[in-house]
A and B are shown apart, each in its own frame.
Chain A
Amino acid sequence: MKNQAKSIWRFFFGDSARAFGWVSLTLLVLLAISPAKNHFSQWRHYQKQYLHLIRGRADAVTLERHFQGGIQQIWIPEQQVTDRCTTCHLGLKEASLADVSAVAFRKHPVIPHSLTEFGCTTCHRGQGPATNVEEAHNSTEQWEQPLLPAKYIEAGCGQCHLEKQTATPFLNQGRQLISAYGCTRCHTIKRGDGTYILPDDDPPSLKHIADKTTREWIYAWIKDPQAYAGTATMPNYHLRDDDARDISAFVIAQSTPLQPPIQPVQADTKAAADPGAGTSLYGQSFCASCHAMQNAAGNLVGGDVGPELTGIGTKAKPEWLQDWVANPNHYDPGTMMPHYRFDPKQVATLVGFLESKTEPDFVAKVHLDPATPQQVEHGKKLAIENGCASCHEIDGIKKPENFAPELSRIGSKPLSQVLFVEGVEHSLPGYVAAKVRNPRIFGSSLKMPQFNLTPQQIDAITTALLAQTDRAQSQPPAMRIASEQQTKYEPAGHAGQLMRDLRCLTCHMINGHGGDMAPDLTWEGTAVQREWLTQFLKNPETLRPALIRRMPKFNLSDQEINTLADYMMTVYQTPQFDRDSLPVSEFTLAAVEQGRQLFYSKFACQSCHIADFAKDKGYIGPALAGTGKRFNAAWIYHWLKDPQALQPGTIEPNQHMTDDEARSLTAFLMSLNSTGSKEAMKK
C-alpha cells in the first residue's frame, strides 16, 4: 500500500521536470475552466441557434446585420431595470420573425411601449440580470421573482396605469370587483399616486334593522347569503348554527326603532293591492334598471345597482316596504334609490307586488327560541371578532381600523413570508388566487370570509392585486398615469336638494360626479330647449328605442319641474359656445334640402338614427325625429363638428364635416318637428 503511494508520487513528482510539467498542466486545466464555462454557457447556445435560424431565411443579411453577439443589457437606472433578456431573446424587434415557432426568437407581440425604454422585467417580472434560463424565468434559491403567467400580465400595466384602459379589461374588472365587493373595507390598498382604492357603496346600516326584517331572516342570511340571492355580494362566513343564532340575537337586540317611527300598513290600502297593476307599475317605473328579479322562467332580469328582489317579500316587513317605497330617505338618507313621488295607491300596489315575491323555503326551517342575554353578549363578541362593523353600521361597535393586512404591496410579497398549504401552487399568483378563492383553506380560524366569485373573477382580482408592487409604489411620478377620481360635485340650492332627493347622480354624471347609466348632463342646458326639458321631466319619452334602461317617471309637480328646468338651463352650460348663436330663422329651405341629402347619402346617418319613423330604422343613436323641438341648433352644429369634444367617449363617429356640411345638416335636423314618436314606434 505504502509502496504504491510512493510509486504514484514518483510518477508525478519523481523529478523536478516531471513535477513542473504536471503542476503546469493542472494550472492550465484550472485556468481553462472559466473560459470553457463561458464558451458552453446557455446564452451562447441560444445565440448560435438564433444565427442558424436566421441564416436560413430570405432576409438573412438584414437580420445578421441587426444581430449583436455577447451579453446584451437594457439598463434603466431610474426604473431599476437591468435586463439581459435580449441576450437570448434576439428576435424581439424583428418584424419578419413574427411567425417563427421557437418562442425564444419570436418577435414581441405589438405593445404600446418600447423595450429599450421600459425593459422586460417591468411587465413580465423574472430576474433581469440572470443569463441562464432557470434563474431568469423561475424562482431559484437566490432569486425568487419568477415570470408572471400570461393570464396576469395586465398586472404589469397596472403598476403605472392607475386609470381605466381599453386594452386591459381584466385589470379594470379586477379593480372594479375590489370596489364592488368592498375588499378595501378591511384591507387598505394604496395606489402608487397616494390615492386609495375605495369601496363602491355603503352596505346597509343595521341600526334599525329590526324595523326592516326578522331575526329568522337574518339568521338564514348570515348562514348563507347566496342561498337568498345568487347575486348577493355579502360573503359567507361559514358560521356554526349557534354562532349564527347569537349574532342574529345581537343584531336584533342592538336595533332601535326608527324616528319618526314607521307606520303600520292600513287595512284599506292593503285591499287595494292588485297584482296585475303591480307588475306594470314595476315595469313603468323602470325598477329593473337597478334591481334584478327572477322571471317566471327562472332567468335573472335587471340591473345590479340595487339588491336583487327575487325574495324581497320574505326579507322585508310589509310596513317597512311601504315606508321605503314611499320615501327611501326616511330609512336610509344615504341610499342611491330615488324618491319616486308615488301616491298612496301606487305605494300599496307596488308593496303588494313586492310582497308576493317570496322565497318561503329560505326561512322555513329556521326556528329560534327567544334570545338570552348571554347569547346577545356572545353575539356581540362574534360580531366584533368577525369585523361586521367594517362594513355595517352597528350600534355599540366601532368600525375597526386596519382590521386586515394592508395590500398596497401584495404583488411584491416575498415568498419566504408566505405560508403555503397543500394544493396551492407555490407562487405568489397561486397564493393570492387561492386566498381570494377560498381563504379558509389556509386555516379554519382565519377571519376572511368566502366570497362568491367565478374563476374568471378570481383571476381578475388577482391581476389587480398583483399590480400592487414595490415598483408601483416607488417609481418616478412621471411614469404614472393617474387614476380617474370622481369629483365631489353636488348641485346647489333648492334645485340641488331636489336633485339629491331624486338621486339624479345615481344614473347621470354631472361635472365628473355620478353614474354612467344615463347621459352626462354637464352641458344639458346648452344642448336642449327649456320647453322640451319640462315636457320630458313631466313625462319621459323614449329617446333611444333600443335601450331597456330608461328614465323613470318621478311624478314631479309643475313647481318642481320648473325649479329643475331653471337650474339646468342656467347652470349646465358649456363655456365653448353660446347656445343661441345659431338662430333657426337663418336657415334656408335650400340648406334644409342639402342637409337631407347629406343625412341620407353622404353620411348615411339613417344607419344609426331615425329622422322619419315611417322609413328609417337605425337604432343605435337616439331618434332624431323631434330634434327641432328638443335641441338648440348651435349644439347640433358643434356636436356634428366634433362629438367627442362635447361628450368624451361617445361612439358617434367624428365625420370630419366641413363647416358648410355641418350647417346644412343642422338646418335639416332642426326642421324635424315630429311629435308622438312613441305612437309612430308602435306602428
Chain B
Amino acid sequence: MKHGLIAFCALALATSGCSHKSKQPASLAATAKGAAIVESSGGKQIGYAGMLLDQPVVVQVNDASGSAIAGAAVYFSGPSGVSFTPASGLTDSSGQVSSTVSLGQQAGRYKIVASTPHATGKNLELALDEIALGYQQTLGAQLNAQYCIRCHDSESTPLRVSNMDNLSVKPHPFTDGDTLNKISDADLVAIISHGGPALNKSAEMPPWGYTLSKSDIAALVAYIRAVADPPYEAGGLVYAQK
C-alpha cells in the first residue's frame, strides 16, 4: 500500500517535475454568466521554464451581444506544473480577469485554459498557448536579441530601432512558422552559418559561421523552432508509440 502510494507520488512528481499543482479553485459567487470568453492579452508569450510570464494573462467575458459583463466567474487551469495567481476570479467592471502565470519545469508549449460557466450549465473554454524556453532556447533567445532581432523583428523600441524596413528583401520574423517550419534544421544551420547565398537567397543575410560557434547556431535554431507559430512539428522518423 505504502509502496503503491510512493510509486504514485513518484510518478506524479516525475511527470509534473514538482509539487506546484494548481489546486482546484473553490467556486465563486458569480452574479452573472457570459456567452463568450475571449483573450484580452497575455497569450503566446515567450517565457522560461518554471518562471513567471512577463505579462499577466487577461481574459474577458462577454454577453450574447458581445459587450463585457461584470461578475462572471473565470477559472484558470493548465498542465501540471503551471500555477496561476489567482487561479480564479470574478470579472471586474470591464468584464476582465487577470492572472499571473508561472510555467512548468519543462521547456515547451503550455496550453492553458480559462473557463467560465455558461447559462446552459456547460463551461465555455478559451485555450491560450504559452512558450517556455529551456537552456538551449534561452541561449538562442539571447543571441537573437544580440545579433538577429534588429533585422528580423519589425518592431522598434527606444533603445533598438528596427532595421527591417531598410532592407530590400524583408527578413522572416522568427515566429513565422508558415515559412520557417518548412526549412529543415540543416538548411537553417547552413543559412545562418554561410549567409543567404548558401540557399540562393539574399546576401543581405550575412554569414555568422565565423562569428558564432556551432553550438550557438544550434541554439538559434532551437529558439526559432520553439517560438514558431504555427508550432513546429519535428520531422524525421515517426514512432508508433510515444
Residues of B within 8 A of A4 (CB): none
Residue in chain B with minimal CB distance to A601: B203
The smallest C-beta distance from B216 to any residue of chain A, in angstroms, reads 8
The smallest C-beta distance from A545 to any residue of chain B, in angstroms, reads 8
Residues of A within 8 A of B104 (CB): 150
Interface segment among A386-394, A577-585, A617-625: the answer is: A617-625
B183 at the A interface (CB under 8 A): no
Cβ-neighbour of B163 out of A132, A455, A619 (below 8 A):
A619
A17 at the B interface (CB under 8 A): no
Interface segment among B23-31, B109-117, B132-140: the answer is: B132-140
Residues of B within 8 A of A644 (CB): 211
Cβ-neighbour of B105 out of A149, A455, A618, A653 (below 8 A):
A149
B64 at the A interface (CB under 8 A): no
A-B contact pairs, 5 of them (CB 8 A): A99-B234, A103-B15, A110-B135, A133-B14, A620-B150
Task: Given A110-B222, A137-B13, A166-B142, decide whether A653 and B207 contact each other with a Cβ distance below 8 A.
Answer: yes
Q: Is the CB of A169 within 8 A of B142?
A: yes
Residues of B within 8 A of A45 (CB): 7
Q: Cα distance A112–B215 when bound, in Å?
A: 8
Task: Given A169-B138, A607-B166, A618-B167, decide whether A147 and B14 contact each other with a Cβ distance below 8 A.
Answer: no
Q: Is the CB of B14 within 8 A of A104?
A: yes
Main secondary structure on A side of the interface with B = loop
Q: Is the CB of A301 within 8 A of B138?
A: no
Q: Is the CB of B240 within 8 A of A56?
A: yes
B51 at the A interface (CB under 8 A): yes
A535 at the B interface (CB under 8 A): no
Cβ-neighbour of A459 out of B14, B18, B51 (below 8 A):
B51
Residues of B within 8 A of A149 (CB): 18, 50, 105
Residues of A within 8 A of B218 (CB): 110
B107 at the A interface (CB under 8 A): yes
B129 at the A interface (CB under 8 A): no
Q: Cα distance A100–B202 when bound, in Å?
A: 39
Residues of A within 8 A of B139 (CB): 166-167
Q: Which residues of A contact B (CB under 8 A)?
A: 40, 42, 45, 53, 56-59, 96, 99-104, 109-112, 132-134, 137-138, 147, 149-153, 166-170, 301, 455-456, 459, 546, 548, 601-604, 607-608, 617-620, 643-644, 651, 653-656
Q: Cα distance A513–B104 when bound, in Å?
A: 41
Residues of A within 8 A of B17 (CB): 103, 150
The smallest C-beta distance from A34 to any residue of chain B, in angstroms, reads 15
0/1 string, B130-160, CB within 8 A of A gives 1 = 0000111011001100110011000000110
Q: Is the CB of A151 within 8 A of B49?
A: yes
Residue in chain B with minimal CB distance to A455: B52
B54 at the A interface (CB under 8 A): yes
B208 at the A interface (CB under 8 A): yes
Cβ-neighbour of A655 out of B6, B54, B206, B240 (below 8 A):
B206
Task: Given A57-B239, A604-B206, decide whether A618 and B50 contact each other with a Cβ distance below 8 A.
Answer: no
0/1 string, B150-192, CB within 8 A of A gives 1 = 1100000011010101110000000000000000000000000
Residues of B within 8 A of A40 (CB): 3
Q: Is the CB of B7 within 8 A of A150?
A: no
The smallest C-beta distance from B132 to any residue of chain A, in angstroms, reads 9
